[in-house]
């Protein structure tokens, strides 16, 4: 309960912050970032792993999610003024409770329109559990937002109860290979085969493949050799405060 009160206070007092982790292409060029929320509490930096689950349980994830969308749009507005940043895409994580709100679409489009953000710069990351929670509603909402110019990434792909059949039905632009598979590339032959197969499937479906949790040169080379298009992980950069986010080419080859 203390934590719940603290989270209310954090929202009211502006203690949340976005950190950004770069997403690069095979040449190491930064093409975008994933926004990851951080809580600068009076006792220090708190990881989302420590408060997102409670926020989900209590429903606080809804106003927190609204804050994330607004903060992401504010960043995109800043970037639009800077020729070095104007082309970047920003991905935000959306939780199930947030996505299922009856006014989710109005909230996002309202923010985008009132701030005059280019919707093509904003990507929404959904997990398999969000999608499968109500597949009809998911497809309807995704279609409306896609029409408006937003794009979607399937986060943590392969870790949930995924059914390959829905991949064909969802208006997805990107598939994010979960870091657990990436981690096992060198040590576990089955993981390597899964990663190869998922990249191939995404490419054949014309869905952009992105690997997360890329930590080593070996992982990067393997993924690149098998046709993965984008890369995210400590090898290229850790999540950093938005004001420290760097563009350009990371680990050039
Ligand atoms: O670095 P990392 O600790 O940021 O994130 C931990 C977990 O918290 C990840 O599963 C990530 O998806 C989730 N997360 C980070 N930021 C957000 C956010 O803005 N909204 C939601 N719903 N989850 C987030
Ligand atoms: O669940 P989601 O994929 O949205 O969250 C991404 C999480 O992965 C965040 O907690 C982020 O800090 C973390 N992360 C990003 N890159 C790496 C990496 O290379 N290694 C590890 N161990 N974690 C990473
Ligand atoms: Mn994510
Ligand atoms: Na993920």
76 Cβ partners below 8 Å, 6+ apart? 90, 117, 118, 121, 122
From first to last of its 253 residues, what are the pLDDT tens digits of the chain? Answer: 799 999 999 999 999 999 999 999 999 999 999 999 999 999 999 999 999 999 999 999 999 999 999 999 999 999 999 999 999 999 999 999 999 999 999 999 999 999 999 999 999 999 998 998 899 999 999 999 999 999 999 999 988 877 788 888 999 999 999 999 999 999 999 999 999 999 999 999 999 999 999 999 999 999 999 999 999 999 999 999 999 999 999 987 6
Q: Which residues surround the ion ligand 3 when the cut-off is CB under 5 Å?
A: 93, 125, 155
What is the pTM assigned to this prediction? 0.97
* DSSP string for residues in 187-204: T-HHHHHHHHHHHHHHHH
Can you tell me which atom of ligand 2 is nearest the CA of 125? 4
Give me the interface pTM, i.e. the ipTM.
0.98
Q: In angstroms, how far apart are the furthest CA atoms of the chain? A: 51
Q: What angle do CA 88, 225, 207 make, to 5 degrees?
A: 50
Cβ atoms of 12 and 60 within 8 Å: the answer is no
Domains and CATH numbers, the chain: 2-244 (3.20.20.450)
How buried is 238 (Cβ within 10 angstroms: 0-12 exposed, 13-18 middle, 19+ buried)? Answer: exposed
CA distances for 206 relative to 167, 173, 229, angstroms: 11, 8, 11
Cβ atoms of 72 and 35 within 8 Å: the answer is yes
**d(Cα 147, Cα 105) in Å, to the nearest integer?**
12
Cβ atoms of 128 and 166 within 8 Å: the answer is no
**d(Cα 147, Cα 116) in Å, to the nearest integer?**
17
| Ligand 2 pocket, residue 213 CB under 6 Å | yes
Strand partners, 91: 34, 123
**SS3 label, residue 110:** helix
- Crossing angle between the packed helical segments 217-225 and 189-204, to the nearest 10 degrees: 40
Cβ atoms of 157 and 198 within 8 Å: the answer is yes
Counting ligands in written order, which one lies closest to the CA of residue 213? 2
Can you tell me which atom of ligand 2 is nearest the CA of 234? 19
Closest residue by Cα to atom 8, ligand 1, is 48
């Amino acid at each position: 309960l203390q934590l719940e009160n603290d989270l209310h206070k954090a929202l009211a007092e502006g203690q949340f912050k976005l950190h950004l982790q770069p997403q690069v292409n095979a040449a190491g060029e930064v093409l975008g970032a994933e926004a990851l929320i951080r809580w600068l509490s009076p006792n220090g930096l708190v990881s989302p792993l420590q408060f997102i689950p409670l926020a989900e349980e209590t429903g606080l994830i809804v106003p927190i999610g609204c804050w994330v969308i607004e903060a992401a749009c504010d960043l995109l507005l800043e970037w639009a003024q800077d020729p070095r940043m104007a082309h970047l895409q920003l991905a935000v994580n959306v939780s199930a409770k947030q996505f299922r709100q009856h006014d989710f679409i109005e909230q996002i489009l309202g923010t985008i329109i009132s701030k005059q953000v280019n919707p093509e710069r904003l990507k929404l990351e959904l997990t398999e559990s969000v999608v499968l929670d109500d597949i009809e509603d998911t497809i309807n909402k995704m279609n409306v937002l896609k029409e408006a110019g937003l794009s979607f990434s399937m986060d943590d792909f392969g870790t949930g109860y995924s059914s390959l059949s829905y991949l064909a039905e969802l208006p997805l632009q990107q598939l994010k290979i979960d870091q657990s598979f990436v981690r096992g590339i060198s040590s576990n032959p089955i993981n390597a085969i899964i990663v190869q197969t998922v990249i191939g499937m995404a490419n054949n479906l014309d869905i952009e493949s992105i690997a997360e949790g890329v930590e080593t040169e070996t992982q990067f080379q393997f993924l690149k050799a098998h046709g993965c298009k984008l890369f995210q992980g400590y090898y290229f950069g850790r999540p950093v405060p938005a004001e420290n986010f760097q563009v350009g080419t990371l680990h050039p080859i």
